[in-house]
Amino acid sequence: MSIPAPIKTPCVKVCVVDGESGLCLGCFRKLKEVAAWASFTDAERETILAELPSRRSLIRPEKLGLV
């Protein structure tokens, strides 16, 4: 019996959702994405991971200074 490979995740253990953008201030994922992360395929996770850097701009900079 082999141990499954760990799931790649952008989580940085700062789980605070910004009410304005709907994104986590730590990883920039949507709450639904965080909740369903383990059920996504590798391809779905990679697509979301590729989008995360651009999502940072959707959060007001002063909020990012809080975490």
Give domain limits for the chain. 13-67
pLDDT greater than 80 at residue 67: no
Q: What is the pTM of this model?
A: 0.86
pLDDT digits 0-9 by tens, 3-59: 888 899 999 999 999 999 999 999 999 999 999 999 999 999 999 999 999 999 999
- Per-residue confidence (pLDDT) for residue 59, from 0 to 100: 95
Position 66 pLDDT exceeds 80: no
Q: For residue 30, what are the β-bridge partners?
A: 23
Rg (alpha carbons) of the chain, rounded to whole number: 13
Q: Could you tell me the two tokens for 14? A: 């700062």
| Residue 27, token pair as written in the block | 């990883």
Residues 6+ apart with CB under 8 A from 64: 25, 56
pLDDT value of position 4: 81
CA distances from 6 to 20, 21, 25, 33 (A): 32, 29, 23, 17
